[in-house]
A and B are shown apart, each in its own frame.
Chain A
Amino acid sequence: MIDFNHVTLEYPVTRTLALEDLTMQVARGEFIYLVGHSGAGKSSFMNLVLKRALPTRGEVRIAGEPLSRYRGRRTPLLRRRIGTVFQDNLLLHHLNAYDNVAFSLRVIGVPQREWPQRVTTALRTVGLEHKKQALPLQLSLGEQQRVAIARAIVSNPPLLLADEPTGNLDHENSREVLKILQNVNLRGTTVVVATHARELVETFRHRTLTLRKGRLVRDDPDGGYSL
């Protein structure tokens, strides 16, 4: 699903070396953690997959296609195949939970008649079907993050990227979010979670990639948090 081949990323303005000679693969249907200190390169990895940045050297392939194939107007087609969840949930505060999730379908041009069923299913998956009328500010942070996950999965993307999805959440809500992401993975979606949360990585064990100063220093198929 994701294939990095000797990828280096240097940000042009600051000349910061974000990733250096990174080679790794994520298979279809896998659940992986990406761990590392701040500045280790986790977000840069996400930016490359989303084509918010381009590699300085090396090649990135998503679902077998090189990133360079998604030029200009084709970039949105790539992003439609990737669900995204961020620490800051990026919900639109003037829309209720239902409309926030439906917004994803509107943006990619799904016919309106399909929205109720698909949105309801997505909200049910994250356990918030009963709160579809609530505005984001009427929801707890954990619930907001669950709405963000519903928005990310409503278009059934084959890949889900979660960048510090539990960064703002307490222990209980963090576990809840992780369980939901695991359920999404069990349905066949490839899930990549960038996180600092040692306890979660230790508890819900999956393949774990450890980055340090832009380099891959550990690839543990059995999981476990070790920086």
Chain B
Amino acid sequence: MMYHLRQALLAMRANFTATFSTLTTMTITLLVLGAVLLLTLNVNRTLEQLEAQVEVAAFLKDDANIPALLGQVKLYQGVHDARLVSREQVLAEMTRDYPYARDAAALAGNPFPNTLRMRVERVQDSRRIANIVQALPGVATVEYGANYVDPAVKTLNAIRTAGYGLVALLLLGTLFNILNAVRVAMFARRNEIGVMRLLGATPAFIRMPHLIEGVLVGLIAAVVSVSVLAASYLELAKRVAQLVPVFPIVTDLNTIAPILVGIALLSIVIGLLGSLFATSRYLRELE
């Protein structure tokens, strides 16, 4: 094994440019992947918080059959909870936020309707449920915060999807980079490989230094990227928590650590896979 390790290190040194280029691409890819994953983690946390807060409010007509409506909406799929807020309770809430509301009500009467407030299980269901409830008899209008819920969900999902797309492309690029680097290394050793084959070396023996090379590149890229990611994310999280305390940024190490470990393992697996493909193909061409 020491022989193979030494050969791998010699190959990496002899083809420094190709190795360095692979290492750089791989590190950048892992950094972007890590950033996307950590962003997704925070997006999911934000969505969860949004979901916990978003309510669909149905403003009822005076002649609405309130008990029947309440019973009906509770049966809808996606409705987590539904409750009636009477017009008096609405006025009290409004007076708490806007003290002049009571004076206005004293002059012109309570303008607020009885309201059904529904909590949804997923924020994406808000529009669907609002449309269904809107069509019910006795419902005047429905409000579900469309102005901010829809764009927020769309934006967060778009960021997440674009991030995954970018990472997929970068991973593919990294794989090709490793294929190329290992191929260059094998070509540089072609005389030695030719002699090995004549002497009866097995394919496993011939490819071993290159598999080690792939794993080493993956390992180095993993160490660099995970270190940079961890340090910069924790620093960023600290600053965000100070600047925007309401933003639910994840700082729990038990939640972040599995992502970082996953990135490191992925890096090593990609290094190994790239080398496996490259060596198999090169040896097949020699047959």
A-side residues, CB < 8 A to B, are: 50, 73, 76-81, 84, 90, 92, 103-104, 106-109, 151, 155
Contacts and interface: CB of A to CB of B under 8 A. Distances in A.
B205 interface: yes
Contacts of B192: 92
Interface of B: 3, 191-192, 194-203, 205
Contacts of B196: 107
Contacts of A73: 202-203
B10 to A, nearest CB: 9
A157 B203 CA distance: 20
Nearest to A151: B199
Contacts of B199: 79-80, 84, 103-104, 107-108, 151, 155
A50 B199 CA distance: 10
Contacts of B191: 90, 92
Interface of B is mostly: helix
B195 A108 contact: no
A108 B194 contact: no
A107 B205 contact: yes
Q: Which of B195, B199, B203 has the most CB of A within 10 A?
A: B199
Contact of A76 (B3, B194, B195, B200): B200
A84 B194 CA distance: 12
Contacts of B3: 106
A73 B199 CA distance: 14
Contacts of B202: 73, 76
A169 B195 CA distance: 21
A90 B198 contact: yes
Contacts of A79: 197-200
A176 to B, nearest CB: 23
A108 B198 contact: no
Contacts of A108: 199-201
B287 to A, nearest CB: 8
Given A106-B3, A107-B205, A80 B200 contact: yes
